[in-house]
Amino acid sequence: MTPETSSADTTAQAPWQSNDTAAYAPTQQRFDWGKALPLVGPVVLLLIWDLVVRFGLIKPILLPAPIDTLLTLINGMAGPVLLPHFWVTLERTLYAFAIATAVGMPLGIALGSNERAYRSVEFVIDFFRSTPASALIPLFLLIFGINNINKVAIAAFGAFLIVIFNCAYGVINARKQRVAAAKVMGASRWQIFKDVLFWESLQPTFVGLRSAVSMALVIVVVAEMFIGSENGLGHKIIDAQQVMNVRVMYAAIMAAGILGYALNVLFLALEKRVVHWSGR
């Protein structure tokens, strides 16, 4: 046996052994920095806020340090300072949104399925949709007086206009090819409505629902500020501002922002789950 043959035999591998041993080597997982991008904005904002306070560009009596505000927010949401007002504002917002949805969705779908009917009321819808809801507060005060119903009613009205517009728009702009295909297959008007138009309108409807719940929250907070309210985040904000309790004021503002953001994220998740075929 020659030395070359002996060397080849000793270096030969068994059939079950892989030539590419690197394929089985443990791979080093790298952190995906893309997932951290949503945190960049808040961190930069808090950093700028802190620097502005530290260098005295704004007096602490007008703008407290971010750490003080965050601690006030945490303590307030864990006790009676903010938590009861948070729940009251959330309750009013959900009541207003439920009323707007219960009335606006069926009416919007009905108007959208009959384009002539929608065109006949389009000006009225667009006019009131373009009118600031805060400008209607005196009118609702005359109708409902100074009570909790007033705040829910004006928020429901503002949200209702958004819901009805988006529902009608979604039905009117349903894909014509699918409607035509349903007609060719002999579907009745009711079958076209419930099997084609309704599902086609869901995507713009959910967009309208997200906008409507945000609008309801905005109007509720504004109404709590200026319509003789004794509770709610809007009341807490204006009350803290009047006695120069700026930490509580900023904490209440942040609580309202967190509530609005949470509602928006909730409806985004619901939209992705329900309208999972969107864009197909």
pLDDT, tens only, 63-105: 899 999 999 999 999 989 999 999 999 999 999 999 999 999 8
In 96-179, DSSP assigns E strands to none
Q: For the ranges 117-126, 188-197, 198-207, which has the lowest average pLDDT?
A: 188-197
C-alpha to C-alpha distances, 124 to 29, 127, 166, 222, nearest whole angstrom: 59, 5, 15, 24
Please tell me the distance from the alpha carbon of residue 57 to that of residue 71, in angstroms, as a whole number. Answer: 22
Q: Shortest CA distance to 55 belongs to which of 41, 46, 40, 65?
A: 65
Would 41 be classed as within a structural domain? Answer: no
Q: Please say if the pLDDT value at position 8 is more than 90.
A: no
Residue labelled with tokens 């690197």: 22
Q: Please say if the pLDDT value at position 278 is more than 60.
A: no
Asked whether 136 and 151 are in contact (CB, 8 A), the reply is: no
Would 10 be classed as within a structural domain? Answer: no
Would 25 be classed as within a structural domain? Answer: no
Task: Check residue 130 and give its pLDDT.
Answer: 87
Would 134 be classed as within a structural domain? Answer: yes
Would 33 be classed as within a structural domain? Answer: no
Would 19 be classed as within a structural domain? Answer: no
Q: Shortest CA distance to 203 belongs to which of 161, 167, 162, 165?
A: 167
Number of domains in the chain: 1
Please tell me the distance from the alpha carbon of residue 29 to that of residue 239, in angstroms, as a whole number. Answer: 52
Would 247 be classed as within a structural domain? Answer: no
Domain encompassing residue 142 = 86-229
C-alpha to C-alpha distances, 53 to 44, 65, 146, 240, nearest whole angstrom: 14, 6, 40, 20
Task: Check residue 132 and give its pLDDT.
Answer: 86
Return the axis-axis angle of helices 83-113 and 246-274, rounded to nearest 10°. 40
Structure confidence by residue, pLDDT tens digits, 119-153: 888 888 889 888 888 888 888 888 888 888 889 99
Average pLDDT, the chain: 83
Residue labelled with tokens 């389009």: 122
Would 54 be classed as within a structural domain? Answer: no
Domain containing 90 — which CATH number?
Answer: 1.10.3720.10
